[in-house]
Structure 1
Amino acid sequence: MKKILLIIIFTYSLLFSKEVTLQLPWKYQFQFAGYIIAKEKGFYKDIGLNVKLKEFDSTIDVIKELDENKIEYAVTRPTSMIDISKGKNLKYLATIFQSSPLVLLTNKNSGITSLSDFKNKRIMTSGDLSSDVSLISMMFSQGITLNDLVIQEPSFNTKDLIDNKTDLIASYISNEPYILKELGGEPVIFNPKDYGFDFYSDILTTSKSYLQNNHEEVKKFKEASLKGWEYAFSNINESVEIIYNKYNPQYKSKEALIYEANELKKLAYFNTNELGKIEPEKLEKIYNVYKLLGLAKNNINFNEIVFNDLNKESNLTNEEKSYLTNKQPIKMCISSDWTPFERLNKDNKYVGIGADYYSIIEKNLSTKFELVKTETPNEALDFIKDKKCDFLSLAVRTPLMQKELNLSSTIFKVPLVIATKLNVPFINKLEDLKEEKIAVPRKYLNIDFFKSKYSNLNIVEVENAQEGLKLLKEGKVYGFVGTLYTVSYRIQSEYFNDLKIAGKINDELEFVIGVNKNDEVLLNILQKSINKIDELHTKEIIDKWASTIYEKTIDYNLIWQIVTPFVLVFIFGLFFYTKLKLLNAKLSDQKKFINTILDIQPNMIFIINKTESIFANKFLLDFFDCKNLEEFQKKYFCLAQTFIQEELFFHLGKINDNSTWIDNILKLKSEKRIVSILHPTTKTTKVFNVSIVELEDEQYLISLTDISDTILKQIQLENKSTHDKLTGAFNREYFESHKNLIINEYTKENHLLIFSILDIDFFKNVNDTYGHDVGDRVLKQFVQIIQNSSRNDDLVIRWGGEEFILLLKINSIDNAKKVLENIRKTIAQTSFEKVEHITCSIGATVYRENETIEDSFKRADKALYEAKNSGRNKVVIKN
């Protein structure tokens, strides 16, 4: 009887539930666990919906079906913004994964360790920009284009990496790496977010028309779906059990599903505590990538496409109106000195971003807040607990604030930067500063999150920017992390001769309003006021106060110090973004803006293509005493013509073939890309570090940074003491003093250290026949060939006479054989001055753990002896 009753109740609920469809972009797996759990646990049924989950079907145009209301809901990718730009009326409800799981995967034995190794490699990906845009953008950013790759049709079989049918595959970080491990491989992952391309994934979407007609249902559907996701991530084992038994068309193991769950949970909560968070600003950044790649053209109102289920109605309820009338004064805690966010000036007047923002709120509410001065966020929290004030004007969203206060939605965000001393190189990634002491203000940052994310840093907690920058100036820390505006202001006002901003990091401070936990009415009032202030108005306020950082008369040294680190970090992205369409009238404003930024830099910027110079900035023209680019071109055939021929530096005399000077300097390690130029007016020698970025259509952006005063002496001293004077190879003394470090570096992470000896065959005959001058030139050219044919990690050492040591950091003996054979063949095929052709014999061995270098040398020497006895011009490797 009980079973019959349950069946009747279930049937009744189905009959009176509305059926809606949720279209998934792939087959069932944990990637869709939230929706599966919401269905299985009755979360959808509780809101009167019978949700039909549909797996991927290649015959269905999901965007078209959504737009025409043939399906109610779908999980889409950010590429759907391209469809929106073409007129599809979609509405985004939530983003499940804050960072995309799409990555490139290879097996460790492929020898691919960096993006530069991708050239001429086979890759299984669609090659379709709209599908793989984050992967392609990652490669483009490092100079790798689709023409550099061998594109293969995807087989969706990870075993192809093991069977050597391909070198790289596009995959999900939550799936294929686990499969590769199960097959006995060692996954090597290249993630776009590590290169600045951080995309959303799996966006819960409906159509605008469906939302308009079913607003309350859509709101509840979103809430039930997120409830399902929260349950799935909080109960992974139970959720896996359900998916394994009922939703497993791919026959995944439980272990694989658990692995997928844990990886996806990281992505769902990446840089946030809010499940399903979706931000118009991030959508815009993603869409801009589509635009610069030519996939989209039209503009989008990003606020318009995001569903905001907050009550946008600014009219107050009777209860809220009564609150404002009776609860007077409403006391607002502010920071007394947090420029440019807020402070009390010398006349005790409230100024800053917060002051301008709250003047709008006060006007909208027809009220006036009473200011309560506080020195720290903790003091403000105490004041709110003790009812000395009712809310905090500008709180930073941290776990502490979320625990202690009711927080509003985000008002605005500010990027974080790292400040260093002037002599520190520019910093691309904070993670690169291993073990360095970095000061971080405990007042405003989520210290625990920061320590977890940057676990390789030595975090020094400080109270505020004043304390952190003081420690930095005194040399007690390597860097200080703070907000762009605060750090810029402090450097300008107190430290502009000592400190600089050395880079932007991939974190932001999220500013909100913090209200007493027991005061829901006030939170609702303030939230409605926030909703009424549009994003453009907020941006105008922030821009106004950010600009006050630069109120002083233009001082190019100051601008260089504060702005240039950002320009250098973002300049290539900026150029990539605008694509340098200098002849395109539609982008004339962007061109002027870019040129203005370039002109205020005290480093030389030059842009050329294969036939002519395109742009030279003011600093370069002033250096060469030229009024414009045309005058420079009349004086100099090309920029490289100005490079002085000095042995320590790169110059045209070091080019032995028909390749360009740019091709040659790009072959050098970045720290070796140094040139010397004679100043035309002062006749003094200046030394520059050269940075080159390849743009589209064979264009190059060249940046020359003056390092004369800070690095020249160091380079000269280092080269004299560590390099062979004749060939430029490292000398034996360098190896003897650094061998322990070299061995540790070359043998970590299961790499092999290959110890090889290269000896020129019959070199005595060269000296006897052509003289020692020719012999010296042969040795120099011989070393250049080795350096050009080897990798960045390889180390060339002149051991004595015509004998050289080449140390290889490599993952297999087979790969070592290929590298050495390539060097041998290149030498044999190269024409040397007067001598024409020479050959070399190579003996090599694998360094054995804990053995002496002498033992390695003896074994390599035996291999060399064998190579010479067997006819020379051979490679022999002995284990």
Structure 2
Amino acid sequence: MIRILFLVIFIYSFLISKELKEVSLQLPWKYQFQFAGYILAKEKGFYQDINLDVKLKQWDENVDVIDSLTNNKIEYAVLRPTSMIDISKGKELVYLATIFQSSPLVLVTDRSSGISSLSDLKNKRIMTSGDLGSDVSLLSMIFSHGIKLEDLLIQTPSFNTQDLLDKKTDLIASYISNEPFTLKELGGNPIVFNPKDYGFDFYSDILTTSKKYLHNEENEVRKFREASLKGWEYAFSNINESVEIIYNKYNPQKKSKEALIYEANELKKLAYHNTNELGKMEAEKLEKIYNIYKLLGLAKNNITFNNLIFENLTTASSLNSEEKSYIEKKQPLKMCINSNWLPFEKMENDNKYKGMAADYYAILEKNLSTKFELIKTTSQNEVLDFIKNDKCDFQSLTINTHNIEDGLKLTSTIFKVPLVVATRLDVPFINKLEDLKNQKIAIAKNYVNIEYFRNKYPSLNIVEVENTQEGLKQLKAGKVYGYIGTLYSVSYKIQTEYFNDLKIAGKTNDELEFTIGVKDNNEILFNILQKVVNNITPLEKKELTDKWASTIYEKGVDYTLLWQIITPFILIFLFGVFFYTKLKLLNSRLSDQKKFINTILDIQPNMIFIVNDKEPVFANRFFLDFFDCKNLKEFQKKHSCLAQTFIEEELYFHLGKIVDNNSWIENILRLKSEKRIVSILHPNTSITKVFNVSIVELEDEQYLISLTDISDTILKQIQLENKSTHDKLTGAYNREYFETHYKLIINEYIKEDNLVFLSILDIDFFKKVNDTYGHDVGDKVLKQFVNVIQKSSRKDDLLIRWGGEEFLLLTKVKSIDNAKKVLENIKNAISEASFEGVKHITCSIGSTNYNENEKIEESFKRADDALYEAKNNGRNQVQIK
């Protein structure tokens, strides 16, 4: 009987194993932790769960990996980004995920070599393949510092770190996760030169398949990608267990456990470098890397970078028949929302959905041609319960804390929100969180990964609170020193509830990632939502977040904050100036370096423009992208001069402010640095952007101009000025504003031979309104009164609340008759309007024209006399004196 049982088990196991499809994954080196994710996916059965028997293949110098992929000899491979060179030559490959956001490839030397900087590398021996196709990030870094290939003594690699100590070489090309540790074990003192520290931040270890295989096996490729990333998540979350498996079963290099643990921790940093999303790939970064290959002459043809990435390819296609059928049968899709979470989302009393999520899902509804039924919830636990019991199909906004509760499967990020620090008004600007040692900092436990913050900032005394409201309430009461929350939710609360008590005093380097949470076993809906999420363009995402990006950093004009924002870009700018100046000094000897200098300038996050006394000679990629131009010539066809793009606004510099025959550059240089501000209309979004202008004079009468986007900072400043210049109740300008600005206003109004009329408007019998109906109703009447005037007056008319129920109106007209018509129209609009609580009110208006060069008090006296006449003659009328 036992024999029969064993036989049945054997046959069953054999049949199960036969069902698994065998596929190959080619690795670029021998087994080590560098491939732990794939090893763990195999060992833990993640591949078997999707009916795949994955054969891991170690590096073999005789195998042409890309040829094997495109000819179906292997199904999957781990490649470097230099495979884009092959793609540019016609190889049809698809990138599934990049495991390392930053390349582990570095140069290592020992301190005893005397090499302390890249400038010391001339005539030094380097053990590297010497193949630009494999070590291009290293050579880019070296080349950017004036060292050419002919300045180096390239040696065939021995893969023996001891050679550094035995003085057989000066430097070796290696992985940051391997050789530095080995050198320390040998008694050395490693110095590491990392390309990412010099602006050459490359992807590495890209999981790849061929387009042909993807076309035939899309479902398998998707599952293989997911299983592989699941293996990587497991490996990084269980390093000791993973090391034990690799040490015992996958260790041809005989690495010690200590070396494998060191490798694991270093690679984990690279996998999550500047992101919380494992495997993330961006077309923009691929393009920047590829541009360096082109500058080196390794590639010539253009590539459509969006078509390289698996998620972009699969989402660009329409829904398949199964997904379309699901949408048709499930209409409407039930979406759990947070009923009170502005500015992210809220359900108003009239069942109107508003907030960032509302704008986002309006696009998704349009793209899916469907409707979402909104299900109100008040907590994450309630969301999970609703989804579990099929009251909801998915959650609108799920924060990816990387320890999300069971039951949800998360899409890729729909938008990110930076985290900021709120404090009381008397706290100075916070430069970095590490400065807040032992201070009590509140964090909302349901929205932020508390353990992440505790590990990253061990010096903080973190206090857990339920939400932003509780955190800010404790902050106002002085129970905590600060509150860490999202930029938008914190700024919204401060503007609506805590404007006179709290402020945003600094920002962190962290962000919250918002995703869509789908019931974990609803694979079809997850795929549908993933597709539409990936179809939202970067521009659409930016417009959505920009719309809600209004915030307050400091009360008053805070140039400290402005410089905090500008300084990093100025440093980058000066860095570019240094290389450009060096280029001019070296002349023709460094013609190759000029390409690299342009590359450095191209990757800067601000607009850089170089002009001589006749024409522009250089514009970086950021500049050309902003103006939607392919090259400098196209920009010159649209604009003969950069300054022509500056909008004529009083607050900023523009061509109308040039006071002599000198150039705009010479004129703007006369201003203080904080006043060198211009505004430009973005040609695609029609959004006005504000820039700080930095200018450095180069040789040969050339200028390097850098424009740093400070739109958000200026917006905050304008909001603050708005608070100080407008009446809090009605929104009209206040008396203080008029008294300090009337000369500028009148001078502007009298241009083009206009007449300026100053009118006083007084609500008739307003005291009776307050006495009869109460001050609450009186306040509503004042607000509606202003609203009626603004709707019935003209764009250039200026309304000021003078005091109580008395208002001042400045108008510019061509004649007295014209002024009479404007004021009569306003008087009639008020008498015809229905006011909440009191039905109808009237107003009396006294007006006069301003005589040039007279004192404003004289004009005001005549208007007041005219108002007195209007009241004596029965009220509800216009008198002009």
TM-score (norm 1): 0.55
RMSD: 6.3
Question: Is contact 1:501-1:561 (8 Å) kept?
Answer: no
**CA distance, structure 2, for counterparts of residue 693 and residue 476 of structure 1:** 49
Match of 2:735 in 1: none
Task: Give the distance between the partners of 2:536 and 2:68, measured in 1 at CA.
Answer: 33
* 2:96 pairs with 1:93: yes
CA-CA distance at 1:533 after TM superposition: 5.0
Query: Hey, what does 2:411 align to over in structure 1?
Result: 409
Identify the match of residue 305 of structure 1 among 295, 309, 312.
309
CA offsets, 1:507-536, max 9 Å, x none? 43222223567xx45x74365244235533
Partner of 1:287: 287
Change (3 A) 1:321 1:213: closer
Q: Confirm whether residue 449 of structure 1 aligns to residue 449 of structure 2.
A: no
**2:82 aligned residue:** 79
Please tell me whether the aligned partners of residues 142 and 148 of structure 2 are also in contact (alpha carbons under 8 angstroms): no
What is the aligned partner in structure 2 of residue 835 from structure 1?
none
Q: Report whether the alignment pairs 1:525 with 2:528.
A: no
CA contact (8 A) 1:412 1:538 kept: no
Equivalent residues of 1:416, 1:509 under 8 A apart: yes
State the alpha-carbon separation in 1 of the partners of residues 674 and 539 from structure 2. Answer: 45
Q: The residue matched to 2:608 in structure 1 has which SS? A: coil
Q: How does 1:115-194 map to 2 (within 5 A)?
A: 124=126, 131-132=134-135, 146=147, 151-153=152-154, 155=157, 156-163=159-166, 169-187=172-190, 189=192
SS in 1 for 2:528: helix
How far residue 312 of structure 1 moved from its aligned partner, in angstroms, is: 7.1
Counterpart position of 2:212: 209
Q: State the Cα distance separating 1:214 from its structure 2 match.
A: 3.7
Match of 1:577 in 2: 603
Q: Are 2:357 and 1:372 aligned?
A: no
> Does the C-alpha gap of structure 1 residues 623 and 476 become closer, same or farther in structure 2, counting only changes over 3 Å?
farther
Match of 2:29 in 1: 26
Which residue matches 2:354? 351
CA contact (8 A) 1:485 1:546 kept: no
5+ long unaligned stretches in structure 1? 597-612, 644-674, 678-688, 705-879
Describe the shift of the 1:45–1:93 C-alpha distance in structure 2 as closer, same or farther (beyond 3 A). Answer: same
Structure 1 residue 209 displacement after superposition: 0.9
Quote how far apart the aligned CAs of 1:448 are. 0.9
CA–CA separation in structure 1 for the residues paired with 2:280 and 2:539: 15
Deviations 1:644-698 (A, max 9, x none): xxxxxxxxxxxxxxxxxxxxxxxxxxxxxxx999xxxxxxxxxxx9999999999
- Counterpart of 1:324 (choices 330, 339, 342) is 330
Counterpart Cα distance in 1 of 2:620 and 2:706: 22
Amino acid at match of 1:88: K
Tell me if the contact between 1:395 and 1:513 (Cα under 8 Å) persists in the aligned partners.
yes
Between the aligned residues of both structures, percent identity stands at 47
Q: Which amino acid aligns with 1:183?
A: L
Residues 84 and 290, structure 2, Cα contact 8 Å, conserved in 1: no
Compared CA separation, residues 56 and 360, structure 1 to 2 (3 A): same
Cα distance change on mapping 1:287 and 1:703 into 2, 3 Å: closer
CA distance in 1, matches of 2:430, 2:335: 44
> What's the offset of the Cα at 1:482?
4.0
2:341 maps to which residue?
337
| Secondary structure of 2:536 counterpart | helix
| Residue pair 2:36, 2:235 contacting (<8 A) in 1 also | yes
Output the CA distance in 2 between the equivalents of 1:249 and 1:525: 44
1:500–1:591 Cα change, 3 Å: farther
Q: Which runs of 5+ in 2 are unaligned?
A: 574-599, 629-641, 676-691, 709-881
1:149-186 per-residue CA deviation (whole Å, 9 max, x = no partner) reads 97553644423443466665443232112211210124
Deviation at residue 540 of structure 1 after TM alignment? 1.5
- 1:416 shift after superposition: 1.7
Please say if residues 392 and 515 of structure 1, whose CA atoms lie closer than 8 Å, have aligned partners that are also in contact. yes
CA distance in 2 between partners of 1:365 and 1:34 (Å): 39
Q: In structure 2, do the counterparts of structure 1 residues 628 and 102 end up closer, same or farther at CA, with 3 Å as the change threshold?
A: farther
* 1:403 alignment partner, SS class: coil
Over residues 378-404 of structure 1, what are the superposed CA-to-partner deviations in whole Å (9 max), with x where a residue is unaligned?
Answer: 66557767988664321111245x214
Distance 2:142 2:703 in 1: 18
CA deviation map 1:173-215 (0-9, x unaligned): 3211221121012445565667887654312211101222344
Distance 1:269 1:614, change over 3 A: closer
State how far apart, in whole Å, the 2-side matches of 1:437 and 1:167 are: 50
Return the alpha-carbon distance in structure 2 between the equivalents of residues 249 and 83 of structure 1. 30
Q: Deviations over 1:77-119 (max 9, x none)?
A: 2333444355431112333445543345454667888x79978
In the comparison of the two structures, how many residue pairs are matched?
Answer: 628
> Contact (CA 8 Å) 2:444, 2:467: kept in 1 or not?
yes
TM-score for the superposition, normalised by structure 2: 0.55
**Do the aligned partners of 1:94 and 1:222 also contact (CA within 8 Å) in 2?**
yes
What pairs up with 1:316-715 in 2 under 5 angstroms?
Answer: 320=326, 324=330, 330=334, 332-339=336-343, 341-344=344-347, 349-362=352-365, 364=368, 366-372=370-376, 374=378, 377=380, 380=383, 391-399=394-402, 402-419=404-421, 427=431, 440-459=443-462, 461=464, 463-465=466-468, 481-486=484-489, 499=503, 505=509, 507-515=510-518, 520-521=521-522, 524-525=524-525, 527-537=527-537, 539-540=539-540, 542-549=542-549, 568-569=567-568, 572=572, 575-577=601-603, 580=608, 582=610, 590-591=622-623, 630-631=662-663
Give, in angstroms, the shift of residue 333 of structure 1. 2.5
C-alpha offsets along residues 716-767 of structure 1, whole Å, 9 cap, x if unaligned? xxxxxxxxxxxxxxxxxxxxxxxxxxxxxxxxxxxxxxxxxxxxxxxxxxxx
Name the amino acid aligned to 2:531: N
Q: Secondary structure at the match of 1:445?
A: coil
Report SS of the residue matched to 1:279.
coil
CA distance in 1 between partners of 2:602 and 2:243 (Å): 43
Aligned to 2:855: none
- What is the alpha-carbon distance in structure 2 between the residues aligned to residue 259 and residue 589 of structure 1? 39
Q: 1:125, 1:151 within 8 Å by CA — same for their partners in 2?
A: no
What is the CA deviation profile of residues 327-379 of structure 1, one whole-angstrom value per residue up to 9, with x for unaligned ones? x894623242321x2234686621123113333555636444134153x5466
Q: 1:452 to 1:196 in 2, by over 3 A?
A: farther
